[in-house]
Amino acid sequence: MFKKVLIANRGEIAVRAIRACKELGIKTVAVYSEADRESIHVQMADEAICIGPADPTRSYLDIPTIMSAVEVSSADAVYPGYGFLSENPKFAEIVQKSGVKFIGPSPETLSLIGDKIKSKEIAKKVGLPLVPGSEGPVDIETALEVASEIGYPVVLKASAGGGGRGIRVVMNEKDLREKFPVAVSEAEASFGDPRLYVEKFIIKPKHIEFQILADEHGNVKVLGERECSIQRRHQKLIEEAPSASVSEEQRREMAKKVESFCKEIGYWGAGTVEFLLDEEGNFYFMEMNGRIQVEHPVTEMVTGVDIVKWQFLIAMGEKLRIGRVKAEGFAIEMRINAEDPNNFMPSPGKIERLFLPGGPGVRVDTHVYAGYSVPPNYDSLLAKIIVWGSTREEAIKRGLRALEETLIEGEGLKTNVEFHKRVLKSKEFKEGRHHVGFVEEMMV
């Protein structure tokens, strides 16, 4: 049993982790930058340590400083949340070598799944379908050959990429010659790895991910799938579980393959295996994310499984004690961001008036309050509104009701609440005909 856990993150995921620890009887240590001094997670934790200025590279991404906080607080485990250092194998290794438990996959596993090319090789081995493309990293001449063979449009992806970064869609040979050196430079700058690979660009796909939990004893439990097709600039905005586009037969078949993949790489902790689903109903493996996802609450709402709490239990060596999982009803999550709903530009400011929704089937995960100043230094997420309904239609109606109740106002502050209303009211979303390019089409 952990006695004290350091939460190496901020915002709503830090609040979520602290709540899980309180229920498990574990003391918590919050770390915070100078910009987050008044944050709720700082007030909720048993201890709090300032780790530097607002600049994340000098605070939440500063490994030596965070490790100093671990040592000073005598924490016996570190919870990374999502973003920042959550999928950094070097950080996981340093934590591990210091005699402290990293609440997540092993450094070796993080390195493996962080390499998109190696992970695709394993996916192919266990029978997961792959998008047609290069077998490994390519130079410009090989990229041209592959693109000619599989046909345009294609997409250039950073081998070490993630989070929607390091992606370039290419429409023709001229486009490829122009974008290849730019993509190489971006991959090097963003991930310290200039390697690129080429894939066929799937027209109007859906983004489907399978949530898994796995313990250190070889047990894997697949908790069903989520659909995350409402995105802007490859960043998710609305997620739902289960997907109305996945049949029960597909669900069972893919769950077996996902389980095999996780066992093959010796995975433990929470994670997601991500796919594209084309218009003909074919799945294509994209990647695995070795962390908790922002959208995990929709799976919790339909399965009743506390995924974050299980992250801690697994890290403490417990075996999974989850019986047969069957989704009950439908859940939808809407990410409420401090951004202009017309162009998605960040819109930080002070929250002067705040009212968040409630009532039957409504959950809100947030770290904001009236009087809170939204800093410009981090992700613009203010809150996640999650709704549940016995049918997808009921969940959509409940989502609209919850959005109508939501009030977040402040001088100069804008949110995307109205954008979410537009999506949920759209005929395409109601009929399940949306895809990853839907937002761009809607904004035209």
Length of the chain: 444
User: Among 210, 213, 206, which residue's Cα sits nearest to residue 236?
Assistant: 206
Active site residue 291: yes
Sign of CA dihedral 414, 417, 423, 425: negative
The single residue listed with the structure tokens 């919870």 is 79
Nearest to 173 by CA among 146, 195, 199: 146
In contact, 289 and 274? CB cutoff 8 Å: yes
Give which of 269, 43, 274, 13 is closest to 161, Cα–Cα. 274
- Closest by Cα among 295, 304, 329 to 227: 295
Q: What is the CA radius of gyration of the chain?
A: 21
Report d(CA 238, CA 337) in Å as an integer.
11
Cβ(361)–Cβ(328) below 8 Å: no
Cross-strand partners of 63? none
CB atoms within 10 A of CB 419: 25
| 429 contacts: CB under 8 Å, gap ≥ 6 | 230, 396, 423, 438
Dihedral (C-alpha) 124, 130, 132, 133: value to the nearest 10 degrees? -70
CA distance 86 to 357: 30
Determine contact, residues 368/382, Cβ cutoff 8 Å: yes
User: Phi/psi of residue 268, each to 5°?
Assistant: -140, 155
In whole angstroms, what is the distance from residue 317 CA to residue 299 CA?
A: 23
- Residue 130: DSSP 8-state: B
At which residue do the structure tokens 């997409």 appear?
Answer: 155
Question: Which residue of the set 291, 335, 363, 398 is catalytic?
Answer: 291
The stretches of 276-367 forming alpha helices (DSSP H) are 296-303, 307-315
Are 326 and 299 contacting, i.e. CB atoms less than 8 angstroms apart? no
Angle between helices 307-315 and 11-24 (to 10 degrees): 60
| Active centre residues (catalytic) | 291
